[in-house]
Amino acid sequence: MRRRDFFTSSLQGGALLAIGSQVSACTQETSAATESAPSSVAPFELDEKTIADLQTAQEEGTYTARQLTQLYLDRIEAIDRNGPTLRSVIEVNPDALKIADQLDKERKQKGPRGPLHGIPVLIKDNIDTADSMRTTAGSLALAEHVAADDAFIIKQLRLAGAVLLGKTNLSEWANFRSTHSSSGWSSRGGQVRNPYATDRSTSGSSAGSGAAAAANLCAVAIGTETDGSILSPSSINGLVGIKPTVGLLSRSGIIPISKSQDTAGPMARTVTDAALLLSALTGIDPKDSATAGQQSYPDYTKFLDIDGLKGATIGVERSYFGYSEQVDALMEEVIKLLRKMGAQVIDPAPIDPTIQFGEDEFEVMLYEFKDGLNAYLATLPAKAPVRSLKDLIAFNQANKDKMMPFFGQEILIMAEKKGPLIDKAYQKAWANCRRKSRELGIDATLQKYKLDALIAPTDTPGWVIDHITGDHYLMSKASYSIAAVAGYPGISVPLGQVMGMPVGMSFFGTAYSEPTLLKFAYAFEQAQQARQAPTFRASAG
């Protein structure tokens, strides 16, 4: 989530590393974030392989699940721990090969459970797993935390037969810590690097999931988003990212920021793979009331249609143009392409430009973060070093050299000052967010122009990592923010490249419009064919 936007708005209007070695390694790594890295990486036999490819290979006996898992583990060791040292995987699962063996045995005896049987998946390190792995949100404060139960979406993933390969690095506390943080940095994992140019940011808090999936360190990955943390890193790492409607995927067992906006979602190299992963993760969870009214489908791939844009009415939201001439030029070509594919393009189709929700959104997040994090931390054992937001702030201060070598915890301190969710200030801000983003925003625009969806550039190319002044977001108005505030879905699809750096385009719609958005995204992907594998250059310059 892009905490700088909210802060500015509110003011202006291998194996598990030992914790000690992690601290030393990440301190060295982050202080050298812009050093040259190798630009030549050996080809990998699983590069750009899809879920269907891996499933066919298992069925034909070319690979077993164990062999696939071992290949990905070896690749993580080769280019994530060494080589360009992406630092996208914070921890590999010591049980991964054992899980793969069990799934191979089951395949022989009963056949595959479904399309994810034996498929290695990486998950973000703010999602609970009741196994040998930690769940830390990237913070050394939770370095010994082993969850008592799987998050609901992890239970679904296991039921689907996936191999939990490991956990991905992230922006610590999902980037809701400091007003000038560097995306992808955590005290536990160090700085994630972009596989297209290792001096560049991966953006968003799902930095590790983005870099790992882009670099072919897994078949697919799971990220989480509050505002941009799936869509932005998907764009900047050349991926397809799905930010579902809030409530389509359960949030129980995921370290929270905002109950109004939080959701997990797929990050993959193709729309089909993202749809397959989404299909496995949905379900009604008694622990998350938001899932009770979900409109879900057991197989989202049935909506994928190469002619899906024929007869569609697509609106172009041009207020998100103007931040990159090269990205704008790519979008102009896309508008022509959409028309050629049979879509009616309404250009422009602006959301009311007078709608402003930044201050209210940040206020809501501060309140909900304190409420949600306190509830999560209170479930930890009594001996845990932190069991409340107040404890966390004190822990960070007491361990300042390790926890805050580059930036502070201003947002944590602001959140701690907030009261309970019954406060009138929170209730007013929450109501404003919903009204402005939904009925006056996305829904009003869709209805006014009779649209099936809106399109906009997802983000600019990745910027140079900077631990002195923090992230350099060029888009002062992010295209994904209004959908995030509304709790509505968005899908980012590779649009092209700018000087070798990926950029994406997003489709947005109303609640539970994932089938429609997937249909459009797939048709566009098949026509544009913009995804290119990373080159692991030292610099984009």
- Condensed to tens digits (0 to 9), the pLDDT of residues 138-186 reads 999 999 999 999 999 999 999 999 999 999 999 999 999 999 999 999 9
* HSE (side-chain half, CA atoms, 13 Å) at 197: 20
User: Mean pLDDT, to the nearest integer, of 265-283?
Assistant: 98
Helix (H, G, I), strand (E, B) or coil at 97: helix
Residue 197, CA distances (Å) to 84, 249, 285 in order: 10, 33, 40
Tell me whether residue 388 is in a domain: yes
Tell me whether residue 15 is in a domain: no
DSSP-derived secondary structure letter, 464: B
Mean pLDDT of the chain: 93
- First-to-last C-alpha distance (Å) of the chain: 27
CATH assignment of the domain containing 207: 3.90.1300.10
Tell me whether residue 539 is in a domain: no
Question: Residue 40: its pLDDT value, please?
Answer: 77
Place of tokens 């799936």: 230
For residue 137 the two structure tokens come to 């949100």
User: Mean pLDDT, to the nearest integer, of 224-234?
Assistant: 98
Question: Residue 39: its pLDDT value, please?
Answer: 56
Tell me whether residue 467 is in a domain: yes
User: Mean pLDDT, to the nearest integer, of 249-272?
Assistant: 98
What would the pLDDT profile of 353-372 be if each residue is shown by its tens digit? 999 999 999 999 999 999 99
Tell me whether residue 334 is in a domain: yes
Closest CA to 94 of 127, 129, 118, 124: 129
Tell me whether residue 1 is in a domain: no
Closest CA to 360 of 428, 306, 292: 428
Tell me whether residue 533 is in a domain: no
Contacts of 207 (CB under 8 A, 6+ apart): 88, 168, 169, 170, 171, 183, 184, 192, 201, 233
Q: Look up the domain containing 409 and give its range.
A: 23-28+47-291+303-528
Active site residue ranges: 124, 205, 229
Residue 494, CA distances (Å) to 86, 239, 533 in order: 21, 6, 11
Contacts of 59 (CB under 8 A, 6+ apart): 112
Q: Please state the domain count of the chain.
A: 1
Tell me whether residue 421 is in a domain: yes
